[in-house]
Structure 1
Amino acid sequence: MADQDIIENRLKQLESHLEKENPVLLNAVQSFRELDKVAYRMGLLSRSESFATQIPWWPLISILGTFSAGKSTFINNYLETQLQRSGNQAVDDKFTVLCYSEDPTPHTLPGVALDSDPRFPFYKISREIELVAEGEGDRIDAYLQLKSCNSERLKGKILIDSPGFDADAQRTSTLRITDHMVDLSDLVLVFFDARHPEPGAMRDTLEHLVAKTIHRPDSGKFMFILNQIDTTAKEDNPEEVIAAWQRALGEHGLTAGRFYTIYSHTASNQIEDDKLRQRYESKRDKDLAEIYDRMAQVEVERAYRIVAALEKTSREIGEQVIPTLTEALARWKKRVLWLDGIAFGLIAALVLGLGASNGQLGTWWQWTHESTLHSGIVLAVVLGGGFALHLALRRLAARSLTGWLVKQEQGLPVKINLAAAFHRSTRPWRSLMAKTPAGWGRGTRRKLSALVNRADKFVQQLNDRFTNPSGQTEEAVEAPGDEAGDTSPATEARE
């Protein structure tokens, strides 16, 4: 009950927040609740889980990079306050989650504040750390910290500053948190240091930050930033430095896109030549403006991403999860029939062989026909024993498919428990001849289809907030609503 209460509280807190901030997403939470019910019936989720909690509802911006790449200075300039320590050496070896606070005085809180608060994206991350580094889960304060800041630019979003990406004693756990952070983020800024134009020394870093991202379906959320480009002013060779990094990224598969080249106006080298300084500043300001603009758009992107997650999860259950479970049931049925045939065939052969060799088969047959009682006893023993053996073989066949199901889970875009759903479909009272998973039928199919259609209407409602393709005035725009009579934010505003 405790875990179920936690999930329910998380959803209620989320609904309370969205009721004021974004009514469209409030409806999306309620749709996720309906999707959860489908998953509960099928066994795809436990009652202590929800699809709504698998995605962050607050826009996230992650900032990655090597030690001394200027991440902290960039954050301080962006927030217009000296919040993060900066320097040429590694000054912070923790992931720092930055969020807005009304209090003008910044506060730094330990990692447990994130690990134990379901509103943040690192809720229960200690469990994940423990899985990849035994004993490290209890040291959550060594990996995470929470900082509050009274900066207007933090309103409506969360920034995550990562420690330097170079190898250290906590590398395995650090990489696990990094992957978790990247998966949840709406925007990922990857910083490189222009003062070290030989990227070959950081091939391991490039492998993790670049090679693993280019094939992601959300690869567009990565921005690669070559920081401290002002250090090339003495030789006036920024093009050569950029080309060296582009070649390094190309070796890891990143052949499209470009570097953003920036440097800090508060921690830059003095460029004496006026024309050269203006050229560098002009390029810096242009790239910074693009980066800041993209950071300002994450709230809009997050709203669309959440609605897309609702549609995608609804589709994937019907288009990938159900076919996978159906295939598993077909394999299970075939294995049970083979095991039954082998087991009962061996028993029959054994009985006949022993009876023939001992000459006792005729005597036994005669005894079973002496009375109805004898016949009943024999029939009960045979049927009971045979059924018990059949059930044991069913369980054995089901367990033999667990490994295959776990592998199939890894290839699915949604986080569900295929093995649990499969074992629910192979319970003793379920017919061996059943071709569909438990909980699946016309009603469930219609429910998923309705959720997909509802997600499309949510997109239309979001479009009403940010676009006006027809060019009509607000009074003339009639926004769509869903089957339950929901109206768009534009309609609500007029009313």
Structure 2
Amino acid sequence: MNQSSKHATTTDSLETHLKRENPLLLEPLAEFRRLDRIAHRMGLLAPGESFTRRVPWWPVISLLGTFSAGKSSFINSYLGTTLQRTGNQAVDDRFSVICYSEDGEPRTLPGTALDADLRFPFYRISGDIEDVAIGEGRRINNYLQLKTCNSEQIRGKILLDSPGFDADNQRSATLQITDRIIDLSDLVLVFFDARHPEPGAMRDTLQHLVSNTINRDDASKFLFVLNQIDTTAGEDNPEDVVAAWQRALASSGLTAGRFLRIYDEEAADPIADESLATRFKQKKDEDIAEIHRRMKGVEVDRAYRVVELMTGAADALAGRQGVGQLRQHLRQWRRRTLIYDGLALLPIVLACGAAFIWAHDTAMGGVERMFSNTPSGWAIVAFVVIVLGLIHFGSRTLAARQISKRIQPASQQTFSLDLKRAFRRNTRWWRGLFSIHPKGWHVFARRRVARIRGKQETMVRRLNDRFTQPSG
């Protein structure tokens, strides 16, 4: 089975899933498929690649942070069952994808169950791991696991529990997966441990989880959770702990950030001061209620986000990230090729001119006689044309290789495009040097992408009709 057939099979499986789970997303899926076809013809997507693999077709809630920050305890409390192991040390060094199952017995499945299923957010993540850590892609089971749970809290959504950032020696691959999680998540809960009020020691974690999120269009999906806040009740001023973390956020550039303060009431030590205990509990209940409200809301947010991602994919393809940048590389290639042609051909043209002048002045009867009476003149012309052609195509090839080396490989950001592949396709020997549009970017493709970009408002209105009643 070739790559295109495999891709069709996986998207057909996704279509079947959406028909059952959320038919409203069938129309965006169809548009993603059309974008795939255009991008494949242009070379901006490799065979078997798809925009759909970067879309969270299930609502995704991820929990990130340092080890012992209470992520697993929070998950167990939310699910109403003991699914994740807990402890003060790093107890799990793999990303856990948790989803609903009607089976009453929880199961733990290997990472390959995620790597080969388009419905999950880690589809073909092994290739991404291989890109940053050679040889690690085949060890996918060391990085991922799929857990099932019969809890109504998880029905229709996915929870992602990450290993502690400071617990994994294979850091490059871990951060690669974390970046994928952040891109795909509808809600990101970033946990910190109030028992360790030295945020400066976690500067690297703050840099990755805070600084890198400031300029994101979806920065509102991040919630910062200060867990085990009950342990600060014995401090002279517990608010100082919160203030220290807020200053840490501000030093990382997030001046508007705030922490939700929670703790596990069953595991917490009693707070001697009754009024203080009441105040802590009231604040904890309010913040947990807000977290649960946001977690419940992802089911609605997901549909709107898929529509936004559809428009984002079309914008990436037709805008500066795709066609615009490809055209820029092709202009550089043309300019460099012409420069190399000029440098190589100038001495040849001068030499040919000198040869013709010399032939004209000799006793051989001039250039006219050479061409009219013998085939040698035309042979010389043919030879010169061949040499010029070889020089030109050599210049094209050299310029293309130099520019191709400078093109960054496709990153793992949302809707990243393989510009290097597309550039190589447009600089093959039979492609004209002065082609106006990149290969595959013809008038029908441009119109199709424009129509997809224009469908966002229509799709959003349909979602509004389902989830809202503006007319009362």
Using structure 1 for the length normalisation, give the TM-score: 0.88
Query: What is the deviation of 1:322?
Result: 2.5
Q: Is the CA contact 2:180–2:413 (under 8 Å) kept in the aligned structure 1?
A: no
Cα pair distance change 1:319/1:131, threshold 3 Å = closer
Cα distance between partner residues in 2 of 1:253 and 1:353: 68
Distance across 2 between alignment mates of 1:92 and 1:20: 34
Deviations 1:269-327 (A, max 9, x none): 11233322221111111100000110111121121111111112212332312232333
- Distance between the aligned counterparts of 1:41 and 1:168, measured in 2? 40
Counterpart-to-counterpart distance in 2, 1:26 and 1:236: 57
* Cα drift, residue 59 of structure 1: 1.2
Q: Which amino acid aligns with 2:429?
A: P
Per the TM alignment, residue 47 of structure 1 is displaced from its structure 2 partner at its CA by 3.4
- The equivalent of 1:485 in structure 2 is none
- Which residue in 2 is equivalent to 1:331? 332
Deviation at 1:110, TM superposition (A): 2.0
State the one-letter code of the partner of 1:152.
Answer: E
Match of 1:454 in 2: 455
Distance in 2 between the 1:12 and 1:223 partners?
A: 35
The change in CA–CA distance for 1:245 and 1:8 in structure 2 (over 3 A counts) is: same
Match of 1:244 in 2: 244
Paired residue secondary structure (1:244): helix
> What pairs up with 1:52-71 in 2 under 5 angstroms?
52-71=52-71
What's 2:226 paired with? 226
Q: Which amino acid aligns with 1:437?
A: P
Correspondence 1:70-219 to 2 at 5 A? 70-166=70-166, 168-219=168-219
Contact 2:200/2:248 (<8 A) preserved: yes
Partner of 1:318: 318
Q: For residues 129 and 443 of structure 1, do their structure 2 counterparts lie closer, same or farther at Cα, with a shift above 3 Å needed?
A: closer
Contact 2:183–2:414 (CA under 8 A) maintained in structure 1: no
CA-CA distance at 1:202 after TM superposition: 1.6
User: For the structure 1 residues 183 and 427, does the alpha-carbon distance in structure 2 shift closer, same or farther, using more than 3 Å as the test?
Assistant: same
From the superposition, tell whether residues 355 and 331 of structure 1 become closer, same or farther in structure 2 (CA, over 3 Å).
same
Q: Quote the RMSD (CA, aligned, Å).
A: 2.6
Is the partner of 2:191 in helix, strand or coil?
A: strand
Partner in structure 2 of residue 299 of structure 1: 299
Shift in alpha-carbon separation, 1:361–1:280, aligned structure 2, 3 A: farther
1:400 corresponds to which of 399, 402, 405: 402
Q: Distance in 2 between matches of 1:225 and 1:129?
A: 28
Look up the SS of the partner of 2:408 in the other structure.
helix
Q: Distance in 2 between matches of 1:434 and 1:190?
A: 49
- Distance apart, 1:69 and its partner CA: 1.0
The SS at the match of 2:188 is strand
Q: Tell me what 2:274 maps to.
A: 274
User: What percentage of aligned pairs have identical amino acids?
Assistant: 51
Name the structure 1 match of 2:41. Answer: 41
Instruction: Please tell me whether the aligned partners of residues 14 and 118 of structure 2 are also in contact (alpha carbons under 8 angstroms).
Output: no
Question: What are structure 1's unaligned runs of at least 5 residues?
Answer: 472-495
Paired position in structure 2 for 1:417: 418
- Structure 1 residues 45 and 370 mapped into 2: Cα distance closer, same or farther (>3 Å)? same
Partners of 1:17 and 1:334 lie apart in 2 by 50
Deviation at 1:16, TM superposition (A): 0.7
State the alpha-carbon separation in 1 of the partners of residues 242 and 311 from structure 2: 40
After the TM superposition, which parts of structure 1 deviate over 4 Å for at least 4 consecutive aligned residues?
Answer: 350-368, 409-413
Q: Contact between 1:330 and 1:435, CA under 8 Å: does it hold in 2? A: no
Change (3 A) 1:52 1:141: closer
Question: 1:403: how far off?
Answer: 3.5
Instruction: Say which SS state the counterpart of residue 406 (structure 1) adopts.
Output: coil
CA contact (8 A) 1:64 1:189 kept: yes
1:437 paired residue number? 438
CA contact 1:44–1:418 (8 Å) conserved in 2: yes
Name the aligned partner's letter for residue 171 of structure 1: R
The AA in structure 1 aligned to 2:468 is T
Task: Find the aligned partners of 1:178 and 1:38 in 2 and give their Cα distance.
Answer: 29
- Given that 2:72 and 2:161 are in contact with CA atoms closer than 8 Å, whether structure 1 keeps it comes out as yes
Q: Does structure 1 retain, via aligned residues, the 8 Å contact 2:93–2:167?
A: no
- 2:393 matched to which residue of 1? 391
CA contact (8 A) 1:133 1:172 kept: yes
Describe the superposition over 1:179-199 as per-residue Cα deviations: whole angstroms up to 9, x where unpaired: 222122111111111111121
Equivalent in the alignment of 2:309: 309
Q: Aligned partner of 1:200: which letter?
A: G
Paired residue for 1:489?
none
Partner Cα distance (1:87, 1:287) in 2? 23
Taking a change above 3 Å as real, the CA distance of residues 30 and 343 of structure 1, as seen in their structure-2 partners, is same
- 3-state SS, counterpart of residue 190 of structure 2: strand
Q: In structure 2, how many angstroms separate the alpha carbons of the residues matched to 1:410 and 1:158?
A: 25
What is aligned with 1:487? none
The farther-off stretch of 94-103 and 198-207 is 198-207
Which stretch shifts more, 375-384 or 83-92? Answer: 375-384
Find the aligned partners of 1:361 and 1:284 in 2 and give their Cα distance: 103
Q: Which residue of the partner structure matches residue 290 of structure 2?
A: 290
Counterpart AA for 1:456: E
Greater alpha carbon shift after TM alignment, 3-12 vs 146-155 = 3-12
Query: Who is 2:384 aligned against?
Result: 382
SS of alignment partner, residue 166 of structure 1 = helix
Please list the CA deviations of residues 211-247 of structure 1 after superposition, one character each: whole Å capped at 9, or x if unmatched.
1221222211111000011112223633111001111
* Structure 1 SS opposite 2:213: coil
Q: Is the 8 A contact 1:355 1:361 kept in 2?
A: no
Q: 1:105 to 1:355 in 2, by over 3 A?
A: same
Between the two proteins, the alignment pairs up a number of residues equal to 470
| Counterpart secondary structure, 2:64 | strand
Q: Contact 1:111/1:140 (CA < 8 Å) preserved in 2?
A: yes
Deviations 1:18-44 (A, max 9, x none): 112222210111111111222223222
